[in-house]
Structure formats: structure tokens, C-alpha cells
Amino acid sequence: MCFEAKRLLKLALGPVLMLISAVVLGYGPEEAQVNMAPGATEVGERIYDLHMIILWICTVIGLGVFGVMFYSIIYHRKSKGAVAAHFHESTKVEIAWTVVPFLILIGMAVPATSTLLEVYDNDDAELDILVTGYQWKWKYEYINENGENISFFSNLRTPQSEIHNSEPKGEFYLLEVDEPLVIPVNTKVRFLITGNDVIHSWWVPELAVKRDAIPGFINETWTLAREEGVFRGQCAELCGKDHGFMPIVVNVVSKEAYGEWLGAKQVEAAAIKELMAQTFTLEQLVERGEAVYARACLACHGANGEGGVGKPIAGSAIATGDIGAHLDVGINGVPGTAMQAFGGQLNDVDMAAVITYQRNAFGNNMGDMVQPIDVYNHKKG
Amino acid sequence: MGDHHHGPAKGLGRWLFTTNHKDIGTMYLWFSFSMFILGGFFAMIIRAELFQPGLQLVEPAFFNQMTTLHGLIMVFGAIMPSFVGLANWLIPMMIGAPDMALPRMNNWSFWILPPTFLLLASTLFMEGGAPAAGWTFYAPLSTTYAGPSVTFFIFSIHVLGLSSIMGSINIIATVMNMRAPGMTYMKMPLFVWTWLITAFLLVAVMPVLAGAVTMMLMDVHFGTSFFSAAGGGDPVLFQHVFWFFGHPEVYIIILPAFGVVSQIIPAFSRKQLFGYDSMVYATASIAFLSFIVWAHHMFTVGMPVAGELFFMYATMLIAVPTGVKVFNWVTTMWRGSLSFETPMLFCIGFLILFTIGGFTGLMLAIAPVDFQYHDTYFVVAHFHYVMVAGAVFSMSAAIYFWLPKWCGRMYNETMGKTHFWISFIGFNIAFFPQHFVGLAGMPRRIPDYALQFADFNMMSSIGAFIYGLSQILFLYNVIATIVAGKPVSDPKVWDGAEGLEWTIPTPAPYHTFETPPAVK
């Protein structure tokens, strides 16, 4: 029995030890990362070093403790004729193994404190970005002291067909968005993080940033990327049904490329402004509205307006009732429920389009429509 | 006096109206095992969905209900009641008392549990489904954004808290008043000590949890804004209140496990527990520290840096008393005369895996590094090493150790050892890779994941299925023992076992210690 137990022990411990050595050596096959990424920032590197130091200290202590234990297990067995000793206390030893760990902890606390202070140093940022978590997407707003802010939403780009396995999954499955955040390299960027509905958490491992997005409060954190590249992260705080489907993608680009990108965004904003003054046909609105619906409404109200987290739209009293009341729900949401206020999320053209679409799709053949100017007037009261 | 001896009543009435600590202990144990199976079944659904990337079996909303119910049922339905059951069986027998101090309340604190869990499980069939905000149910996801089942959930938590508080008061009253003459506090078995301290923790923090869910109830139904910034409240307040309960709660789960291990390791080392006094002091220190570390669960909420530092330092300190315990157990084995029956194997498994969980706990305590670990699978791996390999392994050890005493029949050793090895291997295959995916960036509580996490998730699921199946073997072994195990009549059962419970006949009679024993 003993022999068998030992053999089984070896069988069990073999893979475990292999895995442990894999993590401490940072070794692993390329497609399966087994350790924390030092990432693209200095803070991230310091965090990684701290992580490795503590891991090593724990490994050494662990090997010592388990070594003593396995020595006993092997040599102090009854089946080998071991006779139990009678000692059961030793003040000296007990004081030693209280004091020594305490000193080791102080040794750990020193670098931990200095790294933490560094993480909390939000001063001297060159660029401020307001990050707002929504169920289930992120909004980025570039705060500009002397002009109009640039803002946009960043949604999951992976199609439902890949999620439901009817199409092969792409390389960045679930880690791809329609519009990534763009920041310049070698620039201290401060993030002001908040939530619109529930608590989310904005996390990009390689930028060493994770901070909760709390409705009603603004958290501050920062990053300074030292290399260009695309960095991917996810929401880290359970925020409801599609918590697993609101990724973050950050493009770190050269300062010149960032300037160009910003210029293009400003031109785009001006174009939207022009569209807002136009009048559209029903067909134009429905066509635009279908795309907006897929982006903003589908997750809760279903692909065919059948409902889900949200109420059904197909045949609903709101979508087939007074058009002004319908628009009001879209703009201001329904307080106290999961129906958000979309007035700040969609521009007036998209809002007009999606309301019109809802009234003329899923069997709701109302035939009426909302124009951007109606949305504008409704918002003005 | 001898004339009044009577056995248990007949039929269902025996169980419904019983005030006997052994009957109530048995009911607690069976109830908690059934909850363990139910919570385990939910875990299997979670792992089956996570077997491959993509959504195969369940939709995300249902997945969240599964993670939530898995956590709630395992913590409140399986682990906590199982240790209360153990306390019921063992505390009177260990301190030489005839029964618990408050036997009618004992009956009541058990019997309100099954309907409560029935209520909680029934939310699965309600419109909008079961609670889905995680077992930590952070507001406002659990209030403004929750389905109608949240009200039933709040009621369940209130009643569970009531049951726990009654059970704890009973334990405190029993230990303080009913010890046999001569059994001073510093002569009590360590299991009794850890439970006494646990009971104080429960009495202190269950009302805090009740406060948290009451505030939720007010926010949901009565227009208050405790947790809504729009009305002048603060969502982070919920987390502070919850974790002020939640951190002591994890020690409530683990301290009785420490007690169990401190009884079993000496028995199979045939050597007295090393450092009894320091074990008691270490347990008390851990209990004290558990009240001042709660915000280490919230390092990313944006606390002031002074707050982060305080909670980081306080949390790191817990490593000291916990280390003392591990060193004491290992030193108890040192130069003992060891044998490796199933209870001892589970205790050694506990020692190894709990220590690994302790190390990852220390890593998580380092606030700046926690920014990378927080809410990832690294945390999931950490607390399963502590909760499963800590609490559940020690509970299995306890059942194998005391079952022969309770029913006068010996379990099948080969089957017991097989159960251990399958559990141990399955557990490690399930949870060790979760450290890796966590470090590599996989958030917890997601129903689907990016492709680079696929291999380890598949491995983890396979391990979880193995671990889950091994529990069926456990159930079979326990039933087979009770029905047809080899009879034992030696009061000691195990040659190295020490304590009053090993002085009474085997199987333990329905009434014990009607005359208090003398303790030297």
C-alpha cells in the first residue's frame, strides 16, 4: 500500500511541479501565456518584478515547508518502525517562526509601497481621456481645454455568428472593437474613469491599468506607453449579461499619427453636424436605423425585437403608440430600470434613424418617422 | 436515572422534532452534502460552457445565474452548514456535555434552512431568472438592475443569517457553560476552540450582512438611495459593508477546518499537537485581523492611497499567524510515527493545497500587483485552493475520521484512498491552470473567452469533471459504510486518537455524558 501511495504521489506531483516550474521560469508555449505580462509601461514592469519577487519568496518558503513535511512522510512512518517523539512545544522555535516571517513581510512591503505610490501619481498628464463604462460598451471622450471634445463609443466587433459557433473564430475573437481608443506613445495619459449604469472596470493588462468605473464617481489613473502597438483588455467587473463582451482595444501610435487621427475625427464630427441639418426619407432612416439598432439596442431587445433583458419592441405599446413618447424613451431612458438614456450616446441622426426603424420593423408598420431636427427639438424641450 | 434512557423516537417525527445534538448534526451534514451536490452541479454547467470558446450550452444571462448560485449555495448551503453539523456532533462529545445548551433552538436553526434554500433555488424558475450579480452581489447591478428575484434572495439571506446566528449563540453557550469539570479553556480540543472563535465572528458579522441586504431592499422597493449616487448614495458603500461581513466570513469557513486538521494530524502522527497554545493565539489573531482587512477585496475602487497602504499592510500581517499554524502542523508530523489512512491523506492534501492558496493570498495582498490580479482567474484559483482544498478537504477528512465513531462501522479504506487521490488530482488539474489564465489576462465571471485561454480552460474543465465525479464515490462510500461497513466496537477506533469523544462506546450511543466525565 505504501509503495503504491508513493507511486501515486509521484504521478500526481509530477505535472503539478512541472506547471509550477513553468510559471516560475516564465516558460510556456507561445499560444498559451502562463505568466503576467510586463507590458509596455515602466509601472507594468515594476509590478511584474514585484510579482516575480513575491512568487520566488513564496516558492522558496514553500519548498522548505514541504521539504520538511515530505522528509517526515518518508522517514517517520509507522510502517518503517518510527517511534513518536514526545516534544510538543518550544518557545524559541515558535518565536523564531513568528519573527522571521514578519521581517520577510517588511522586506516585501518596502518595494510594494514605492510601486503603489508611483501608481497613484496622477500629476503632469499631457492628455486627459474620460472613459465611461456602459452596459456593454465603452465611451471615450478626449477632453480638450480649448475646443470641442472628441467622443465615440467602442463596441465589440466580433459577430454573433462567431460567438454562436456558426463561423470560425478570428484571431482576436472577443478582443476586437469597432473603434479603438487611440493614444500617443511616450505621453503620460490620464484616464478619468466612470460608469453610466452599473460598476465596470477598465483593464488593459499591458498598460498596467485597472480601475473601477463607478456610476456617480470619477476615478483617476494613468499610463505612459513606451512602445507603439495594439493592446487589448476587457471589462473586469461583473456588469450584467454581456460582461464578457465589452473588450477594450488601445492603439498606441506615434505622436504624428495621433495628430492626424485627431484631425480626421474632427472632420468626421463636422460631417455629422451637417447631416443633422438634413431631412431624410423613410427608407434612408430605416436603413441607417437598422445598423444603429444592431449596435445599440439588439443586446437587450433581441434581433427581432422580441425582448430579453429589455422589453419586446415588436408590437409594443411604445413603438406603436405616440411617436413623441417613443422618442422620449429613447432619449431619456426609463429611470430605475435597465433602459438607459440614449440621448447622450447616439447623435441626433442615429437617434432619429433608430426610432424610425423600430416603428417600421418587426411587424410594426407605423409608416411615420422622426427627423434629426425633431430629436434636437425634443432635447431642447 | 438509568430508567429514563430512551432511544430516538420513531418515524419522521424523530427528525422533525428532535432536540438531540447527534440527530441535528446528522441532518446538517446530509443537508450540506445535498447542497454540495447541487452547487457542484451548477459548477459543472459553468465548466461545461467554458470547455471551449464560444457559447455552446447556455446563454450569458443564465451563465451569470449559475456562477451566482454556485457561490451562494457552496458558501451558505454546503460549507457553513457542514461545519455546524460537525460542531453539533462533536462539541458536546469533546467537552463532555450531554447535549447542546439550547436544544430547541438547535432544532429550529436547522429546520429553517431547507425551506430557505428551496426558496433561493426556486428563483431559477421565476421570470427574469435567479439572482445573477455574483455571490458578492455588488450594487447597483443587484438593486436597480436586478430582476424581481432579488427580493426573494434578500429574504433568503435574512433567514440564513438568522440560522447562523442562532447556531453560533448555541455553540458559545454550550462551550462556555457545559464543559466537563476540570476542562479549562486551555485544555479544550482545538476544534472546540476554533469553533468558539468562529461563533463569535458569526455573531459579529451576520447582522452586518443583514444590514447590507436590508439597505438593498429599501433601495429596490422603498425609494431610498443607499447605493445610488443619483440619489446621494454611494455604490462603493455596498462593497465596504459587504466585505466587512465577507472577509470574516472566509475565516468563518476556514477556522473550523483548521480545528479539524489540528485534531486529525496528531492522531495519525501518534504525537501530541505541537504548539497548542500558539495555535489558540494564532486563531484568535486571525479572527481579530479579519475585521481590519476587508478593503483588500476593493483595491481597484479608487480608495485614497493611505487606505490602500493600511489594508495592504494589515492583510500581509495575516501571513504571520497563518504561517505559525502551518509550521505547527508540519512540526507535529516531524518525528512522529506516521500512517496514512484516508483522513490523514486528506489532511496532508489540505496542508499542501491550503499553503499554496495562502501564498497566492499573500501575492494578492500586495496592492500594486493586485491591480493586475484583481477579478481575474488568478483570484478564482486562489479562493478555490483555500475553500475547496481548505474547507472541503478537511471536511472529507473529518467524515472519514469520525464516521466510524458515529455509526460503529468502518469505511472501505481502498475506496477512501481512491476518493482522495481522484479528488487531489482532479482538483489540481481543475484549478492550477486557472492561475495561468488569470495571469495571462482572463477576467472571472465571463461565459466566453479569447482563444489564447482555450487550452487551459479545457484542462480546467476536465479536472473539474474528475473532481465532481469523485464526490459520487464519496457519497457511495459513506452510504456503504452506514449500511454495511465492517462493524467496529473499539471506543478509540484509531490507535492515536485522543479526546473525550474516544472514551464513549462505539457506535456513540444516542445519549452520552449524562454524568459529566472528570478531566484531569
Task: Give the confidence band of B189 by pLDDT, cuts at 50, 70, 90.
Answer: very high
Res. B183: pLDDT tops 50: yes
Residue type, B400: Y
B511 is catalytic: no
Residue of A nearest to B239 (CA): A199
Q: Of B290, B285, B274, B86, which Cα lies nearest the Cα of B191?
A: B86
| Shortest Cα–Cα distance, A354 to chain B (Å) | 24
By the CB < 8 Å criterion, does A95 face chain B? no
pLDDT at res. A63:
96
Distance (Å, rounded) from C-alpha B180 to C-alpha B93? 10
Q: Answer whether B303's CB lies under 8 Å from B295's CB.
A: yes
Cross-chain residue pair A72–B436, CB shorter than 8 Å = no
Distance (Å, rounded) from C-alpha B140 to C-alpha B216? 9
Task: Give the confidence band of B39 by pLDDT, cuts at 50, 70, 90.
Answer: very high
Res. B103: pLDDT tops 60: yes
Distance (Å, rounded) from C-alpha B187 to C-alpha B274? 14
Strands A189-195 and A127-134: parallel
Which residues does chain B have within 8 Å of residue A112's beta carbon, measured at their own beta carbons?
312, 366-369
By the CB < 8 Å criterion, does A227 face chain B? no
Cross-chain residue pair B64–A85, CB shorter than 8 Å = no
Distance (Å, rounded) from C-alpha B433 to C-alpha B221? 43
pLDDT at res. A13:
53
Going from the N-terminus, what domains does chain A have, and what CATH number goes with each?
15-119 (1.10.287.90), 127-274 (2.60.40.420), 277-380 (1.10.760.10)
Cross-chain residue pair B368–A50, CB shorter than 8 Å = yes
Which residues does chain B have within 8 Å of residue A35's beta carbon, measured at their own beta carbons?
436, 439-440
3-state SS, residue B376: strand
Q: Of B129, B148, B119, which Cα lies nearest the Cα of B65?
A: B129
DSSP label at residue B501? G
Which residues does chain B have within 8 Å of residue A169's beta carbon, measured at their own beta carbons?
53-54, 451
Of residues A343 and B423, the one with the higher pLDDT is B423
Cβ partners under 8 Å of residue B3, min gap 6: none
pLDDT averaged per 10 residues in sequence order, chain A, 381 residues: 50 55 49 84 95 95 96 94 89 93 95 95 93 94 80 90 91 94 96 95 96 96 96 96 95 96 88 83 90 86 84 88 90 79 85 92 88 87 76
Facing B305 at nearest CB: one of A108, A120, A336: A120
Tell me the pLDDT tens digit for each residue of A304-317. 888 877 889 988 88
Res. B191: pLDDT tops 50: yes
Looking at chain B from residue 189 to 248, which residues have their Cβ under 8 Å from any Cβ of chain A? 228-230, 234-236
pLDDT at res. A302:
86
By the CB < 8 Å criterion, does A25 face chain B? no
B322 is catalytic: yes
By the CB < 8 Å criterion, does B324 face chain A? yes
Q: Answer whether A117's CB lies under 8 Å from B336's CB.
A: no
B374 to each of A134, A136, A215, B284, B299, how far by Cα in Å?
A: 20, 20, 20, 28, 8
pLDDT at res. A242:
93
Q: Answer whether B465's CB lies under 8 Å from A41's CB.
A: no
pLDDT at res. A275:
83
Distance (Å, rounded) from C-alpha B205 to C-alpha A126? 46
Facing A241 at nearest CB: one of B64, B330, B371: B64
Cross-chain residue pair A236–B443, CB shorter than 8 Å = yes
B435 is catalytic: no
pLDDT at res. B171:
97
Res. B267: pLDDT tops 90: yes
Residue type, A183: I
Contacts 24+ apart (CB under 8 A), B175-179: B175/B91, B175/B95, B175/B199, B177/B101, B178/B92, B178/B95, B178/B97, B178/B98, B178/B101, B179/B95, B179/B96, B179/B97
Residue of B nearest to A117 (CA): B305
Which residues does chain B have within 8 Å of residue A217's beta carbon, measured at their own beta carbons?
229, 234-236, 302
B164 is catalytic: yes
| Shortest Cα–Cα distance, A109 to chain B (Å) | 7
Strand partners, A131: A140, A193
Distance (Å, rounded) from C-alpha B354 to C-alpha B153? 31
Q: Answer whether B441's CB lies under 8 Å from B376's CB.
A: yes
Of residues B497 and A9, the one with the higher pLDDT is B497
Which residues does chain A have within 8 Å of residue B327's beta carbon, measured at their own beta carbons?
65, 97
pLDDT at res. A15:
55
Tell me the pLDDT tens digit for each residue of B431-443. 999 999 999 999 9
Distance (Å, rounded) from C-alpha B128 to C-alpha A8? 48
Percent above pLDDT 70 for chain A: 91
Distance (Å, rounded) from C-alpha B308 to C-alpha B328? 32
pLDDT at res. A147:
66
B195 is catalytic: no
Average pLDDT over residues B191-219: 97
B239-260 per-residue burial string, b: 16 or more CB within 10 A, e: under 16? bbbbbbbbbbbbbbbbbbbbbb
Q: Which helix (H) or strand (E) holds A93?
A: helix A91-119
Distance (Å, rounded) from C-alpha B458 to C-alpha A45? 30
pLDDT at res. B475:
97
pLDDT at res. A300:
82
Which residues does chain B have within 8 Å of residue A82's beta carbon, measured at their own beta carbons?
335-338
Percent above pLDDT 70 for chain B: 99
Strands A150-154 and A200-204: unpaired
Tell me the pLDDT tens digit for each residue of B242-264. 999 999 999 999 999 999 999 99
Cβ partners under 8 Å of residue B274, min gap 6: A87, A88, A89, B328, B329, B331, B332, B334
Looking at chain B from residue 366 to 405, which residues have their Cβ under 8 Å from any Cβ of chain A? 366-369, 371-372, 374-376
pLDDT at res. A377:
87
By the CB < 8 Å criterion, does A56 face chain B? no
Cross-chain residue pair A32–B452, CB shorter than 8 Å = yes
Q: Of B445, B516, B365, which Cα lies nearest the Cα of A242?
A: B445
Going from the N-terminus, what domains does chain B have, and what CATH number goes with each?
21-502 (1.20.210.10)
B148 to each of A161, B65, B153, B330, B404, how far by Cα in Å?
A: 31, 13, 9, 51, 47
Tell me the pLDDT of chain B averaged across its residues.
Answer: 95
Output the CA torsion sign for B118, B121, B124, B126.
Answer: positive
pLDDT at res. B11:
85
- Best residue of B141, B234, B240 to probe chain A, by most A CBs closer than 10 Å: B141
Cross-chain residue pair A220–B302, CB shorter than 8 Å = yes
Which residues does chain B have within 8 Å of residue A298's beta carbon, measured at their own beta carbons?
none
3-state SS, residue B354: helix
Facing B439 at nearest CB: one of A36, A165, A235: A36
Which residues does chain A have within 8 Å of residue B132's beta carbon, measured at their own beta carbons?
240-241
Query: Which one of B21, B325, B374, B419 is the catalytic residue?
Result: B325
pLDDT at res. A270:
83
Which residues does chain B have within 8 Å of residue A243's beta carbon, measured at their own beta carbons?
60, 64, 443, 445-446
Looking at chain B from residue 142 to 161, which residues have their Cβ under 8 Å from any Cβ of chain A? 144-145
pLDDT at res. A336:
65
By the CB < 8 Å criterion, does B284 face chain A? no
pTM for the whole structure: 0.89
Cross-chain residue pair B374–A236, CB shorter than 8 Å = yes
| Phi, then psi, of A203 in degrees rounded to 5 | -135, 120
pLDDT at res. A1:
41
